[in-house]
Amino acid sequence: MAMKGLLRVGEVALRVMDMDAARDHYGRCIGLIEVMEDDLGQVYYKAWDEHDHHSLILRQADSPGIDYFAFKVSDEAALVDLEDKVRNFGLSIERIEAGVYPKSGRRIQFVLPSGHTMQLYAEKEQLGNTLGYRNPGVIPEEGVIRGMRPVRLDHCLLGGTDLDKNIELFHKVFEMGISEKLIHHETNAVMAVFFSCSTKPHDVAFVLQPEPNMLHHVSFLLESVSDVYHAADWMGRNRIPIDVGPTRHGVTRGATVYFFDPSGNRNEVFTGGYVYYPDVPTLVWDTSELGQATFAHDNTPRESFLTVLT
């Protein structure tokens, strides 16, 4: 598959209220690798099988939530092309020089109709995954895979206003596929939409909310369903508050556990789902089957899952 344009969510920046507690949660408990702390006290992480320098940034603040998310694009030519397209769509573009964000090339930044700050970049320093690039083997050095055994940053679900305009941007401008959507069973209004720029069920998703710029969750990929249960056991041992799971979604068909960091940001560990191709028709759920769409084992929606965002 020739992937051009947007490749993946390459970076999510979260606000936390207690950095020491957050470091324990994301480092020891989840099992991400801390790679640096910058002069502002922000802490950077990667998962073991990510080659880029980092994919998660934590900043201490007075309230939890998301500062921005960033997609890596295929090359500099794609970044130039997308800058023109986003500007022509009607969004204001801020250019950010290389090096302003550590280990990263130049970026463009803009605010989505949903209120979220989004960045695009083509270059980031690579650290590798300890396997090397010749005769790499299959597992990293001893002690690298730990905690909940996260493989990579997988996706994020964001809450905000004006989903229709977001859909136009991501589908028509960014050329991302709409893998699934949830509509109101009476009005047909779009309540949630799932976008893929790869063969995954989703790379980013948005849910309609009365307030802009909200975080529903950031998700980390695990290798197997058995790893999902291992992660849930680890959450129990470490007294991490679980929101839902282990269970399986109807939307995306993924196996999942949702839980909270010490500041109240929702995290997810996720595995499975189906292979998505651009010619697959959009799967449509409506709110008469909200239980099965969200949690397909017991077909029961959870109020906290629908209402708690940061």
| Residue 211 sits in the same domain as residue 116 | no
100 shares a domain with 186: no
Per-residue confidence (pLDDT) for residue 1, from 0 to 100: 41
Residue type, 63: S
Q: What is the pLDDT along the chain (310 residues), one digit of tens a residue?
A: 457 789 999 999 999 999 999 999 999 999 999 999 999 999 999 999 999 999 999 999 999 999 999 999 999 999 999 999 999 999 999 999 999 999 999 999 999 999 999 999 999 999 988 898 999 989 888 888 999 999 999 999 999 999 999 999 999 999 999 999 998 999 988 899 999 998 999 999 999 999 999 999 999 999 999 999 999 999 999 999 999 989 988 888 989 999 999 999 999 999 998 999 989 999 999 988 887 888 888 888 888 888 989 9
Contacts 24+ apart (CB under 8 A), 228-232: 228/255, 228/256, 228/257, 228/269, 228/270, 228/271, 230/148, 230/149, 231/148, 231/149, 231/257, 231/269, 232/257
CA distance readout (Å), 211 to 115, 189, 260: 8, 17, 21
Instruction: Report CA Rg, the chain.
Output: 19
Residues recognised as catalytic: 155, 202, 217, 249, 258, 268
- CATH number reported for the structural domain that contains residue 83 in this entry: 3.10.180.10
132 within domain boundaries: no
Based on the fold, state whether residues 156 and 116 are members of the same structural domain: no
Indicate whether 158 and 106 sit together in one domain. no
- For the chain, what is the domain count? 2
Give the pLDDT confidence score for residue 62 in this predicted structure.
Answer: 97
Q: What's the confidence (pLDDT) of residue 2?
A: 58
Is residue 144 in a domain?
Answer: no
Same domain, 23 and 62: yes
pLDDT value for 293: 82
In a domain, 129, yes or no: no
Is position 143 within any domain?
no
CB burial of 2-40 (b: ≥16 within 10 Å; e: otherwise) equals eeebbbbbbbbbbbbbebeebbebbbebbbbbbbeeeee
Tell me which residue range forms the domain holding 203.
Answer: 152-307
Is 99 part of a structural domain of the chain? yes
pLDDT of amino acid 233: 97
Contact (CB, 8 A) for 183 and 285: yes
Tokens of 2: 């020739």
User: Is residue 137 domain-resident?
Assistant: no
- Whether residues 57 and 191 share a domain: the answer is no
Which pLDDT does position 237 carry in this prediction? 97
**Are residues 201 and 293 part of one domain?**
yes
Domain ends where: 103, 121, 139? 121
If asked whether residues 77 and 181 sit together in one domain, one would say no
Distance between CA atoms of residues 213 and 75, nearest Å: 28
Asked which of 102, 121, 140 is the last residue of a domain, the reply is 121
- Which tokens belong to 199? 């063969």
How many beta carbons lie within 10 A of that of residue 49, not counting itself? 18
Other Cβ atoms closer than 10 A to 154: 25
| This model's pTM is above 0.85 | yes
User: Is 156 found in the same domain as 116?
Assistant: no
Within 10 A of 268 (CB to CB), how many other CB atoms are there?
A: 22
Which residues touch 232 (CB under 8 Å, ≥6 apart)? Answer: 242, 245, 246, 257
Assigned domain for 243 exists: yes
CA gap 172, 24 in Å, rounded: 41
Q: Which of 101, 121, 141 is the last residue of a domain?
A: 121
